[in-house]
Structure 1
Amino acid sequence: MSIHSVKRAQTHLAWDNSIAPVIHVSSGDTVTFDCLDASNGQITASSNAATLASLNVSLLDQVNGPVHIAGAQPGDTLRVDVCGLETADWGWSALIPGFGLLADEFPEPALKVWKLVRNSAGKDVSGNGEYGYAWFNEEKGIKVPLKPFCGEMGVAPGKDGAHSTIPPYATGGNIDTRHLTAGSTLYLPVEVPGALFSIGDGHAAQGDGECGTAIETPMKVTVRLTVLKEKPYVKTPHFTTRNPHAGTEEFYCTTGVDSDIREATRAAVRNMITFLGVEHGLGAVEAYMLCSVAGDLRMHEVVDMPNYVIGIMMPKSIFTKT
């Protein structure tokens, strides 16, 4: 196993399979990325709401990479193990005109700069939710726990041309899924040779769905990239996580990605039915019933149009025979 790094300046602003990789790695190698915040460095710890007036939105949500993984071919699955995350000591949340679930009701720009109080280790390598905290309002006693993750993780689409980094896709992208903390594993469908993996959009904390904003922050993230040949049923992002938001239960999640929220939800359930059939030998009727009685539907990403990401999370503890 080798360890590689992608520098802060090695970024791109579109998912495009014609973008040359910045590094080539072998399957199973570890890569560390040094990522700016989602504003691409336009917002700093000393910024205020006036900064948003000059914000160049065409520079938002850049991603670091792409990384070519040897042996990855269309139809394969890329396994992304999130090994470690390190935020800056500050972050920001903003209401940017035109963005967010209630953008029409909150047209004025607003910015909050946070001080991030990290634990003594300064990084999350365990996924146990003990990374640190930030005061939302210390006078009123409102404190937010820090649970860092990267909002953007994806591979290049098979369809030629440039595709915006703002929405999520079946190949990943801006999936903004808060459960992808350290210790989790993401599975992505490979559509081009080498997969061409990229990552960015560091979040120190965010609620499910990211209805308006997250705590955006520069992030150093380390992932292990492994090519899998035995999971051809992965057609949208799947992941496993030891849920840091509700105890130590471990989940397997399938997602649906669609411009219609109901269709995204239906697709997530269909993908779980397929997973249960392949991995646990269940018939479709059995699997659908199990989804209904044991699966939790979650809105992972609902603001970056035109697509939604809906997931169904299945507790792994219900499978008592390995």
Structure 2
Amino acid sequence: MRFGTLDASYGRVARQVAAGGLDLPDDLRALIAAGASAPGPLTGGQPGHPLTGPVYVEGARPGDTLVVELLEVRTGDWGWTGCRPGGIGLLDDEVPGAHTHFWDLRAGTHTDFLASGFRARLPLAPFPGVIGVAPAAPGPHPTAPPRQVGGNMDVRQLVAGSTLYLPVEVPGALLSVGDVHAAQGDGEVSGTGIETDGEVTVRLGLRRGRALTMPELRTPPEPTPLWSAGAYVTTGHAPELLEAARHALRGMLAHLGEEYGLGFTDAYILASACVDLRVSQIVDAPHYTVSALLPQGLFAR
């Protein structure tokens, strides 16, 4: 089964690029940076992701597990990553202004980040940011928060070759897919990965008699050219996990500025596309430790 999906701008980025290149109007840039650059359905008073579905799965019953094998994930020709003051990103309160970075994905295997004379190459690792089934609780349900039935999980390991297991809560499961990202770091720190239109091909199955309480997944062996040259790591330590993450990210953005000459916003965008945030420890009271990892393979040629 193949799902054709729109990006978080409801396809307007691709249409604008096709019509006139990357010279987008200021109002569209601002809306894209806000993560909702075109009119779309509102759910629970919040902008919703454009999703394809729901698909009724014959024979699926509450208490079953829906098995979703991801066979192929393809991107559109163009992608974007945005940030703005007051947005949902980890350091959006420090962003000087709304900004959208556009990515050329036409090579199919990689995309280049170009900013202020700086160049880095990111391999594409596309995955659906939103994939899930319907919750049993009465709706409507905003698409932004992930739930026990999946949804907007943004798990970057859900690439082709992975298998996702979802708890079924309603007859037919009602599977929906969308929000393809061409690449993303663990954390999606600016609030957006590399957002793009896409195609997601899956094979569906059912497991009886095993009722999950949360989604689970199995990933394929991960080729690691991006990480083969090691990583530069910054750390954050604080009594709250989010504050520790902010400290680690600030250190990484400072490193990108000092080492590579990137301004705050460009460094923030790049980090959202490829820097991994990891919880290094949660037992050494009173502080949590979060590490931010920058893959040095970005700079290999």
Same fold (TM over 0.5): yes
Deviation string 1:76-97 (CA, Å, 9 cap, x unpaired) is: 1000000111111111111144
Q: How many residues of Structure 1 are paired with residues of Structure 2 in the alignment?
A: 210
Higher helix share: 2
User: Which residue, out of 182, 204, 212, partners 1:225?
Assistant: 204
Distance 1:228 1:92, change over 3 A: same
Tell me if the contact between 2:76 and 2:196 (Cα under 8 Å) persists in the aligned partners: yes
Higher strand share: 1
Tell me the residue number matched to 1:208: 186
2:63 aligned counterpart, secondary structure: coil
Distance 1:79 1:298, change over 3 A: farther
Tell me the residue number matched to 2:100: 111
Q: How does 1:128-277 map to 2 (within 5 A)?
A: 132-137=109-114, 139-212=117-190, 213-232=192-211, 234-244=212-222, 246=224
How far 1:198 sits from its partner (Å)? 0.2
- Equivalents in 2 of 1:177, 1:40: separation in Å? 21
Letter in 2 for 1:33: F
Distance 1:78 1:111, change over 3 A: same
2:118 aligned counterpart, secondary structure: coil
- Equivalents in 1 of 2:78, 2:224: separation in Å? 26
- Equivalents in 2 of 1:261, 1:193: separation in Å? 38
User: Which residue, out of 41, 48, 69, partners 2:57?
Assistant: 69
How far 1:140 sits from its partner (Å)? 2.5
- Equivalents in 1 of 2:204, 2:241: separation in Å? 30
Tell me the residue number matched to 2:73: 85
- Equivalents in 2 of 1:104, 1:144: separation in Å? 27
- Structure 2 runs not aligned, ≥5 long: 32-36, 226-239, 243-276, 280-301
Tell me the residue number matched to 1:38: 8
Tell me the residue number matched to 1:251: none
Tell me if the contact between 2:80 and 2:103 (Cα under 8 Å) persists in the aligned partners: yes
Distance 1:226 1:298, change over 3 A: farther
Tell me if the contact between 2:30 and 2:99 (Cα under 8 Å) persists in the aligned partners: no
Deviation string 1:93-118 (CA, Å, 9 cap, x unpaired) is: 11144221122222621011111143
Tell me the residue number matched to 1:292: none
- Equivalents in 2 of 1:225, 1:134: separation in Å? 31
- Structure 1 runs not aligned, ≥5 long: 1-30, 120-131, 248-259, 263-296, 300-322
